[in-house]
Structure 1
Amino acid sequence: MSLASFLLAARTAQAADPNGGYDVTVLADGPIPADVRALVETLGIVVDIPGGPTGMRGSYRAAMAEPDRAGWTDEDVVYFSEDDYLHVPEAFLGLRSAARTIPSAHYFALYASTPNNPAFGPGVPWGAPSAFRAAPEVVVDGITWVNVPSTASTFGARIGTLRRDMGIIRQGMVPHRNRLLDHETCLVYQGCLPYRPIDLVLGPVGNRFYSGWRAVAANTVFTPFRVAFQLRSLTRRRDRHLLYAADPNVACHLETEFMSPGRDWRAVAARAADWAAEQDFDIRTAMTPGPAESVR
C-alpha cells in the first residue's frame, strides 16, 4: 500500500509536469519480489543496497548517500520516504510548488505535527520546545506550509542544504543503536536548542532512566553527546535551515496509533489500491517490510 501510494504520487507529478525532471529511485535493502521491481521500473529504478539487508541504520546511510551516488546537483530537491507512509496523489506536486515558491524553506515535511493538526492525537502537544520561534506560514497552491520544529526520517530537502548539514545528520545517528534522533536533528539544523538543562542530564521526557544503574550508565554515555549536540545548534543561529510542513499533512505514518488529521486516509488508501490494480499489481502480495523510496 505504501509503495503504491508513493508511486501514484510520483506518476501524478510526472504526468502534470513531464519536463519536471522527476527521478524515482527505490532503495532495496535486500531481495524484493519481481512484480514489485517491475512496478517500480515503470516509473524509475531500483538500487540494491550492497550487502543487504543492512537494517534501519544501513538503509538510512544508503539513502543519505544516494544524492552523491546519483550525481544530483545542489539545486535539486530530494524526498526520502520510509516504507510505511501513505501519500495523497498530489503530494509531490505540492512539494514541487513549495520548493519553487518558498526560498526560505530548506527542508520539507509532508508528514509532521502542526499547531492546528497535531499528528500524535487530540490533546497531545505538537512538540515545539519553548525556545522554538516559528517563521510565518506560507500558502502555496492551496496548501498551507508551516514552519515546524521537527519531523521523522521521511522528509524532503534541498540537496545543497543536505550536504552542508550532513555532519549534523550523522551526529543524530549516534549514540543510539536502534533509533535516530530525528526530533533533535531538525531542531539543531534550525538553530534551536534541542535540550532543556535538565534534559542534558536526565534525557528527554519519555526516554529517561530515572533510577538505578541503568540511569547512571545511560547518562554517563549520553550526557556528553547531548552537550555536544546542544553546542552544535548554537553554531547555526545565524544560518538556520528551516523546516516547513504541509498543513494538513499530505502523507501519513501508518505505524502509529493516530492518523494525521484533516484527510480521508481511507479514501487515499483505496485510490492507491485501485491504481495498483490498474497496473495488474496486487497489493495484498506485497504486505511485507519493503524498501525505502526516494524521489528527486
Structure 2
Amino acid sequence: MSESMVRVFLRTCPGDNNKERPDWYSKGTCVRSLLGAVDALRASGVAVETTMVVDTSSGKALDADVADLAPDFDHLIEVKGGNNRTSLRAFYRSLPFDDYEDDDLLYFVEDDHLHRRDALLTLTTGTAEYRFLYSFAPHHGEPEPGEGWRAVPGGTSSYGVQVAACRRDHLWHLLMLNGGGAWDELTYRAIGANAFRDGWEYVVRPFHPDNLFPHRSKLGSLRHSVARAVAETARRTRRTPATIECYVPNPACHAETAVMTDHADWAVVATPYLPEPATAPEPTVTLVLPVLNGADYLEETVDAIRAQTREDWRLLIVDDVSTDDTVAIATRYAAEDPRIRLVRMRDNTRKRGASAVGFALATTEYAMEANADDVLHPDALEKLLAPLEQDPTLAASFGGHRNVDSIGRELTEYGDVIAEYTGRAGLSEGRAPGIRRLQISRGTIPAGTAATLRRTAIGAIPTYTNTHTDFWLGWQAARTDAVCYCGERIADYRVHGGNTLRAMFRRKKARDRMHMYLAIARESHRDELLPIARKLVDNGIIAVFGPLAGRRFAAQAKELSQAPATDETLETVGSPE
C-alpha cells in the first residue's frame, strides 16, 4: 500500500435510530475511535485523506460531540438524503473517480461503528477488492474458518474497496439502492460475491410473511423481488465475481447490540474514546461564516466578532474551496482562539451547501449567518440575543445596518434608499408587525448580515436557494410573525464591485428566486399571493432577458466594480430586490 492513498469517508446525520445500543455507545465515541485509527495509519507512513459526509436534509443539528470533531476532518461534503439509503446514493453520485488512482483504497463507514486503533492498518493488509472489518453471520454469511482475511459471501454498507473495483461496480451500487430491502445484500449479490442464499426461492422471499425485511405493502415486496431477480441474474451471468473478504477477529464493530460480535471486549476498546466532561461553558450562539476567496476582508470581519461585548459565541468558518489566502487566515485565527473553528468543503457549493453544513454543525440555541466582508458592531450580539433570551416565543431578532463602500466609507443616501425600500425605515423597536408580508415583498430581514435565529427555526435549506441563503433564512424567521426588530444599525454591510446589483440580473439567480417564491407560495396566506405573483413575474422577465431587463442598472454595477463606491455613484442606482 506504499504507493496508494487511503480515503476515509464518514457518513453522519442528525439524530439516531431506536436500535438497542451498548452502555458505552455514543456517536462521538465511535467517531473518535475512527480518528484514532486514522492517526495510527498516518503514523505508519500511509497517506490518508478524511472526509465527513453530512446529511443536511432534516435541517437539524448534528450530535454536538460529532460536530465538535468536524474540524479534524480534511474535507466535508453535504448531501441531501433523509435516510441511510438515499444519503448513500447522493454520496456515491458525488465521488470524483477521475481524481483517484486505481490502487487507492476507499473506506466508507457510518457514524456508529467502533474501531480498534489498528483497524485501518489491518484494512490495508488485505488483497481482496472488497474488505470488511466486521460481519454478522445471519445477514452477511459465515466467513471461512480460521483467522486473518477470510472469504465471506456477503457484506455491509461500511467497507473498504479498491478504486478500480468501485469504479467498475459503481452503477450496480446505485441501481441496487433503489431495490428496497437489504440493498447492501442486493449489491454484493449483483457483483457476484453474495451467494449464501442461492436459488430462485431467494427472489420470491420478499412475499413470505417471515421475510427478514418485511414490507408494508405488496408493491414494496414486488419492488424488492424484482431487484432480487436482477441481482440474481447479474450474479449468474457475471464472468468474474468480485473478491470479498472479512478480517477475523473483527477489528471493528457496528455498535448495535443485536449485531455486535464477541471478537473483542468492545467496552475496553471504547474507553479511550469516551467523551470527557466539559471544562468550559457552552456558547450561546454560533456564527456560520461561509466564505469563498474572502481574504481581502476576512480579518476585519473576524476581528469585529472577537471584539463583541458578548463573549459566549462560536465562529464556524466554512471554506467553500477558496483559492486565495482565506484558509491560511482562518487557520491562524482558529489556532489563536478556541471559539473559532475552520471546516473545508471538498467541492464548491455556491454558498448554499457550505451554509447548510455550517448550520448542521451549529449545536447552540441560537445561530446566525455572517458574511465574510461585513462587520458587526461591538454590541451587535448583545442587542440581537437580548430579546430572544427575554421572550421564548420569538423566532428571530434583527437590526439594521450601515451601507459602506469597499474602504469603509458610509453611503448615506444609498443606505436611506435601501432602508426605505426594505421597509426597515418604518419599523419601530420591538415586535415587527406584518413581517411576513414585508419579507415576501421587500426582503426586510438582513439574515446574512444582522439577524439571529433560534436554531430550531432554521430548518433545512433547499437546494434551489444557492447563493440566496440570506433571503431564505429571513423567510424562515418571518414565517411565524414572531420577530423582534432591535431598532438600531448593528453592522456594516459592504457594497463593493456591485455585489448586490449584478446578481439581480443573472438568469440563473432569477430562476433560483422563482423557485423560492413558489415554495413560499405553497404556505402563504391569500393576501400574500399578489406580491408573490409580482415577484414571479419580475424574476421571470429577468430569467428570459437577463441583463437586458435592467441594462442601466447592470452598467452602473459594472462601473462600481472598477472603483470604490461613493455616495454620488450609488445615489441613483435602483434598489436591490
Residue identity in the other structure for 2:252: A
User: Cα gap change, 1:272/1:225 in structure 2, threshold over 3 Å: closer, same or farther?
Assistant: same
For 1:114-153, what aligned pairs fall within 5 Å after superposition? 118=137, 127=141, 144-153=148-157
User: Cα gap change, 1:154/1:7 in structure 2, threshold over 3 Å: closer, same or farther?
Assistant: same
Cα deviation, 1:187-222, whole Å, max 9, x if unaligned, reads 331355555222322337634769xx955x455444
For 1:144-183, what aligned pairs fall within 5 Å after superposition? 144-176=148-180, 179-183=181-185
Asked if 1 retains the 8 angstrom alpha-carbon contact of 2:140 and 2:153, the reply is: no
Bigger relative contact order, structure 1 or 2 (CA pairs below 8 A, ≥6 apart): 1
Residue identity in the other structure for 2:131: F
Residue identity in the other structure for 1:57: R
Q: Distance in 2 between matches of 1:164 and 1:256?
A: 34
* Matched residue SS, 2:241: coil
User: Cα gap change, 1:202/1:262 in structure 2, threshold over 3 Å: closer, same or farther?
Assistant: closer
User: Cα gap change, 1:136/1:265 in structure 2, threshold over 3 Å: closer, same or farther?
Assistant: closer
Deviation at 1:108, TM superposition (A): 0.5
1:22 aligns to 2:25 (yes or no): no
Deviation at 1:6, TM superposition (A): 0.9
1:85 aligns to 2:113 (yes or no): yes
Residue identity in the other structure for 1:48: E
Q: Distance in 1 between matches of 2:31 and 2:260?
A: 18
Asked if 2 retains the 8 angstrom alpha-carbon contact of 1:11 and 1:43, the reply is: no
Q: Distance in 2 between matches of 1:220 and 1:175?
A: 10
Cα deviation, 1:112-162, whole Å, max 9, x if unaligned, reads 13xxxx5xxxxx68635xxxxx8897xxxxx60111011211111001101
Q: Distance in 2 between matches of 1:280 and 1:95?
A: 36
Residue identity in the other structure for 2:230: A
Q: Distance in 2 between matches of 1:207 and 1:190?
A: 22
1:75 aligns to 2:103 (yes or no): yes
User: Cα gap change, 1:37/1:16 in structure 2, threshold over 3 Å: closer, same or farther?
Assistant: farther
Give the structure 1 partner of residue 383 of structure 2. none
Asked if 2 retains the 8 angstrom alpha-carbon contact of 1:136 and 1:147, the reply is: no
Residue identity in the other structure for 1:235: T
* Matched residue SS, 1:97: coil
Give the structure 1 partner of residue 76 of structure 2. 46
Asked if 1 retains the 8 angstrom alpha-carbon contact of 2:139 and 2:154, the reply is: no
Residue identity in the other structure for 2:202: D
Please identify, of 163-172 and 188-197, the stretch whose mean Cα deviation from structure 2 is larger. 188-197
Unaligned runs of 5+ in 2: 1-28, 281-359, 362-577
Residue identity in the other structure for 2:124: R
Residue identity in the other structure for 2:176: G
Deviation at 1:170, TM superposition (A): 1.8
Q: Distance in 1 between matches of 2:240 and 2:277?
A: 47
Residue identity in the other structure for 1:152: T
Q: 1:6 aligns with which of 34, 40, 43?
A: 34
Give the structure 2 partner of residue 248 of structure 1. 249
Which has the higher Rg, Structure 1 or Structure 2?
Answer: 2
User: Cα gap change, 1:255/1:208 in structure 2, threshold over 3 Å: closer, same or farther?
Assistant: closer
Q: 1:200 aligns with which of 196, 203, 206?
A: 203
Unaligned runs of 5+ in 1: 119-123, 129-133, 138-142, 282-289, 292-296
Q: Distance in 2 between matches of 1:64 and 1:280?
A: 39
Asked if 2 retains the 8 angstrom alpha-carbon contact of 1:76 and 1:159, the reply is: yes
**TM (normalized to structure 1)?**
0.71
**TM (normalized to structure 2)?**
0.38
Give the structure 2 partner of residue 121 of structure 1. none
CA RMSD between the two structures: 3.5
